[in-house]
Structure 1
């Protein structure tokens, strides 16, 4: 019995401190404290984000997604990442297979699952970054300034959020996200290509 307790303690001590994952909602999706519960009228969400001086971002996730779990466990739970997102972004979570009604920027009202099909989202997580102004009649995916499809490590994730927040997609300096990210890796000089 003592050996079992000792082994359990050793395993618990080996887990990283950031292994805490946000609570899960009734829909089976992780609910970070910085996610917004809205009526999912994207025009209203954009107006509210702008009023707060934040950027609107859509997190498309699904129940049972191991890559979503990985992002919530290993990236979004890190204090510096969570703080950066909370301070700079207005996050609306979208369920890939959900039935909650969304009103897209073009005025079309449809279920989450129909909207994600319209936006050509095939897998999760998929993070869609929106500009501060969306052209009239544009759908969310057509207005997006960047899309982050898939699970990435802390460095890549934070670099993408920073690149969008700093509006580097507008700069005519020849530094697209890949060049920006490569430069940030060198500046961090951590030897990891994350």
Structure 2
């Protein structure tokens, strides 16, 4: 199917900086660089590590306006998407989906029962996993960071940077890390509205 942009729509997209995200049959917005996997978390962690990346799981749901905004405003921004693609393998989960998931503790679940088990109730929620799969832990116990909800560009991007730089392993809390970057952006005149 060929999509044609009318001059008005093209001007609107250019003026707002918003790009329409594709929506799959499950009602979730899609990025062509998301990884489709068998949802075996330990295996996905190993696959990401073999590519020199970290595993990030994004929980979304049909009709989520915050998920749509994340796709259209954040994941369509080349500065954000290029960093994520270079450093993370991203697997999308449907908070109310029935696809099979294998937790790190070996339990087989559906996406929706995994979300309940791990305590994730907001969409989007991004879960950052360790570099290697720990044995006997669940995903929420093993996660090195979790970002529940939608944020502005710099909070969103800085969380991915902080995890990539293993900030969680040191003494500098994410909020301090983020504040330093925001201050530097203000001083350089690059800060957009957060």
TM-score normalised by the chain length of structure 1: 0.90
Aligned with 1:179 (options 176, 181, 186): 176
> C-alpha separation between the residues in 1 aligned to 2:20 and 2:159?
22
Cα RMSD over matched residues? Answer: 1.7
Preserved contact between residue 46 and residue 132 of structure 2 (Cα < 8 Å): no
Give the alignment of 1:146-165 within 5 angstroms: 146-165=145-164
Preserved contact between residue 185 and residue 193 of structure 1 (Cα < 8 Å): no
Give 1:3's aligned residue.
none
Preserved contact between residue 18 and residue 74 of structure 1 (Cα < 8 Å): yes
Dislocated runs of 4+, deviation >6 Å: none
Secondary structure of the 2:55 match is strand
Change (3 A) 1:192 1:81: closer
Q: Per-residue CA shift, 1:29-76, capped at 9, x if unaligned?
A: 111122101010111101100100000000000000000001101101
Preserved contact between residue 21 and residue 68 of structure 2 (Cα < 8 Å): no
Q: For structure 1, which segment, 128-137 or 40-49, has the greater mean C-alpha deviation from structure 2 after superposition? A: 128-137
Give the alignment of 1:1-194 within 5 angstroms: 12-15=10-13, 16=15, 18-172=17-171, 175-189=172-186, 190=190, 194=194
Secondary structure of the 1:36 match is coil
Preserved contact between residue 185 and residue 192 of structure 1 (Cα < 8 Å): no
Q: Number of matched residues?
A: 185
> C-alpha separation between the residues in 1 aligned to 2:154 and 2:64?
21
**Cα offset, 1:153, TM superposition:** 1.1
Preserved contact between residue 97 and residue 111 of structure 2 (Cα < 8 Å): yes
> C-alpha separation between the residues in 1 aligned to 2:42 and 2:125?
20
Secondary structure of the 1:160 match is helix
Q: Which runs of 5+ in 2 are unaligned?
A: 1-5
> C-alpha separation between the residues in 1 aligned to 2:12 and 2:32?
26
TM-score normalised by the chain length of structure 2: 0.90
> C-alpha separation between the residues in 2 aligned to 1:115 and 1:10?
43
